Amino acid sequence: MARHVLVAGGAGFIGSLTAQALLDRGDRVTIVDDLSTGSKDVIPQGAAFHEASIGDEVAMTTLLSSADIDACICFAGFIAAGESMSDPGKYFVNNVGATTVLLEALAKAQVQQFVFSSSAAVYGEPLFTPMTETHPTAPTSVYGETKLMVERVLSWMASRGAMRYVALRYFNAAGALEGHREAHQPETHLIPLALAAAKGERPALQVFGTDYPTPDGTCIRDYIHVSDLARAHLAALDVLASGTTELVCNLGTSQGYSVREVISAIEEVTGLSVPHELTSRRPGDPAELVASCDLARDVLGWVPTRSALHDIIRDAWHASSGTTN
């Protein structure tokens, strides 16, 4: 049955792709975004748009009283783990404070289905890998702490009957779809920075740390294609519609790659060399983050289909070169 979904942060990379996927399957979409990091250009045709912060209580209450919203997906938030360590207050105010304002406005409007963009950053250093959702949570970055705090808010709200939710713990979102690609200002993510360095558009890539307890000394991450992420949000809405109260679920591939392996894969895909220099660790980076994805498969019926590393890089490369995938 078609629903009306509020997509908070829908002018961003993953939010806009998910909004498009919702429209494609016949749902109605209203996007709210303050454009602090997003862009009007990526808002899909057919979506209603309100420029506002999710932390603006009056704006959220007004919006929810005027639109007949069934469910909300929240992508709105700052995402740079490194920046969160130098500017922690910014992350607590926006990621925790503003999201809580939105949640309270939703609860008051009786909109009680919420899908939250959480993160693998809630886990911190792995005690075992791949990490299941039961792995202890001990974030090593302020960013991860903010995601965990919102998960706690959601859990309390669910236990009081105020909200039903799915928290999706993304591992490393990457790739591109139909010309949409990561374009953060400033860019901090490995694959877009490495591609830009290969093209000579940026200085040499800095490899942050070569003394991690991993086979080649660089950090290992689990890269997941944005199109697979977008599909998972639709599945999360479906389980909420069928009565799920509370679900916390990893989204990854169960396959990890080191920074050096990503650089090699980029060189293979592009035929260019990636100029890079070895530098010291970036504060807040855990050595290895690799997901167990059994729960997503069993409960959401979700498996990644486009997340082979070379496919992710190829799509990102084509999008950065102006050719769509």
Q: Which residues contact 246 (CB under 8 A, 6 or more apart)?
A: 154, 155, 158, 164, 165
Task: Give the phi and the psi of residue 112 in degrees, each rounded to 5.
Answer: -120, 25
> How many residues make contact with ligand UFG (CB under 6 A)?
21
Q: Could you give the CA distance from residue 49 to residue 1 in angstroms, rounded to a whole number? A: 22
Among residues 113 and 119, whose Cβ is nearest to ligand UFG? 119
CB-based burial label for 26 (10 Å; 0-12, 13-18, 19+):
exposed
Residue 125, CA distances (Å) to 120, 144, 212, 286 in order: 10, 11, 11, 5
Give me the least distance between CB of 69 and ligand UFG, in Å please.
26
Query: Does 28 sit near ligand UFG (CB under 6 A)?
Result: no
Write out the H or E segment, with its range, that includes residue 153: helix 142-159
Query: Does 190 sit near ligand UFG (CB under 6 A)?
Result: yes
* Cα radius of gyration (the chain): 19
Binders of ligand UFG in range 110-129 (CB under 6 A) = 119-121
Task: Give the phi and the psi of residue 131 in degrees, each rounded to 5.
Answer: -85, 125
Among residues 60 and 150, whose Cβ is nearest to ligand UFG? 150
Q: Could you give the CA distance from residue 145 to residue 138 in angstroms, rounded to a whole number? A: 8
Q: Indicate which single residue of 205, 234, 240, 300 sits in contact with ligand UFG (rule: CB under 6 A).
A: 205
Q: Could you give the CA distance from residue 125 to residue 121 in angstroms, rounded to a whole number? A: 9
Q: Tokens for 125?
A: 């250093």
Q: Indicate which single residue of 135, 221, 225, 260 sits in contact with ligand UFG (rule: CB under 6 A).
A: 221
Residue type, 296: A
Q: Is 15 helix (H, G, I), strand (E, B) or coil?
A: helix
Among residues 125 and 238, whose Cβ is nearest to ligand UFG? 125
Query: Does 265 sit near ligand UFG (CB under 6 A)?
Result: no
Among residues 60 and 148, whose Cβ is nearest to ligand UFG? 148
What residue number has its CB nearest to ligand UFG?
Answer: 219
The stretch near ligand UFG (CB under 6 A) out of 9-17, 95-103, 156-164, 182-190 is 182-190
Helix axes 309-320, 259-270, angle to 10 degrees: 60
Q: Active site includes 143? A: yes
Q: What track of x and - describes contact with ligand UFG for positions 79 through 108 (by CB under 6 A)?
A: x-x---------------------------
Q: Indicate which single residue of 6, 149, 158, 259 sits in contact with ligand UFG (rule: CB under 6 A).
A: 259
Query: Does 182 sit near ligand UFG (CB under 6 A)?
Result: no
Q: Which of 91, 123, 143, 223 is catalytic?
A: 143
Give me the least distance between CB of 205 and ligand UFG, in Å please.
6
Give me the least distance between CB of 11 and ligand UFG, in Å please.
18
CB 48 within 8 A of CB 72: no
Nearest residue to 236 (alpha-carbon basis) of 170, 182, 312, 178: 170
Among residues 119 and 325, whose Cβ is nearest to ligand UFG? 119
Residues lying near ligand UFG in the complex (CB under 6 A): 79, 81, 119-121, 171-172, 188-190, 193, 205-208, 219, 221, 259, 282, 285, 289
Catalytic residues: 143
